[in-house]
Structure 1
Amino acid sequence: MSKRINITTGSPWEDKVGYSRAVQVGNIIEVSGTTATDKEGNIVGVNDLYLQTKTIIETVKNVLEDMGSSLKHVVRTRIYTTDISRWEEIGKAHGEFFSTIKPATAMVEISRLVNPDMLVEIEFTAITE
């Protein structure tokens, strides 16, 4: 069996809920659902789906690079939003990072996230070389 590596960020929620920011097994990296929050836990881009999406992808970019991977190794994204009618704002930010990488993806509307100011959450699957 491949070695399992859990990556944490030190968020108090990781221990309370029992999750890791990312888990690597073999050459597969699964990144937990990520929202647009800063290091102090404040929501970035309240009512701005484009900025929230961009912030999420930049956060995950840093996590992947710390793990020896990168956005170019993302093979799947799963996008959850509380307002699918504004999908183009999400798509614009996603496309700025992934227009040439083109991972498999899904975008679905959900009723809400943990905080009402959170409008989008994204999960990522990546590989290492």
Structure 2
Amino acid sequence: MMPPQERHRAYSGSPWEAKVGYCRAIRIGGRIEVAGTTAMKDGAVVGEGDAYTQTRCILETIREALGTLGAELKDVVRTRMFVTDISLWEEIGRAHGEFFRGIDPVATMVEVRALIDPRLLVEIEAEAVLAEGCP
């Protein structure tokens, strides 16, 4: 039997992390999973009513979580975007493109009925894979 791989976690300070029992991102070996991330900073919604600003905020938070675990945006292989109004796809897509153009991970964008706070318009998950042999 192989020993289990060590888990490394990154936390963002979201009040929901402790309440729900999760971390912002987890790394096991060369794989990193980033939890659904919204535009919340210090308990406040960033960019209320502005899908572009919310998406940029989210992607900055994801970049920070990846960095904590030794990864960069270039290591992202998949994003999943959950949006409350699909008609905002161009604003969301523009921000996503500013972070990922040239990296070009696979991406999914779907409309959902609601997020945890009605002022939130976007939630994004990400998956990253590091090259073999990285610490």
TM-score range, shorter chain: over 0.9
User: How many Å separate the matches in 2 of 1:12 and 1:97?
Assistant: 26
| 1:10 Cα deviation from its structure 2 partner | 3.5
User: How many Å separate the matches in 1 of 2:115 and 2:89?
Assistant: 16
| 1:11 Cα deviation from its structure 2 partner | 3.2
Contact 2:51 2:92 in 1 (8 A): yes
The 5-angstrom pairing of residues 89-108 of structure 1 reads 89-108=91-110
Which residue is equivalent to 2:31?
28
Structure 1 stretch displaced more, 20-29 or 9-18: 9-18
What does the per-residue CA deviation read over 1:58-96, in whole Å, with 9 as the maximum and x for residues that have no partner? 111111112110001000000000000110000000001
Amino acid at match of 1:8: Y
TM-score (norm 2): 0.90
Tell whether 2:123 aligns with 1:117.
no
Which residue is equivalent to 2:76?
74
Identity of aligned residues (%): 52
Contact 2:14 2:40 in 1 (8 A): no
SS at match of 1:5: strand
Aligned counterpart for 1:44 among listed residues 43, 46, 53: 46
Which residue is equivalent to 1:57?
59
Return 5+ residue gaps in structure 1 as ranges. Answer: none
SS at match of 1:124: strand
Return 5+ residue gaps in structure 2 as ranges. Answer: none
| 1:33 Cα deviation from its structure 2 partner | 0.3
SS at match of 1:106: strand
| 1:13 Cα deviation from its structure 2 partner | 1.8
SS at match of 2:45: coil
Structure 1 stretch displaced more, 61-70 or 99-108: 61-70
Amino acid at match of 1:125: E
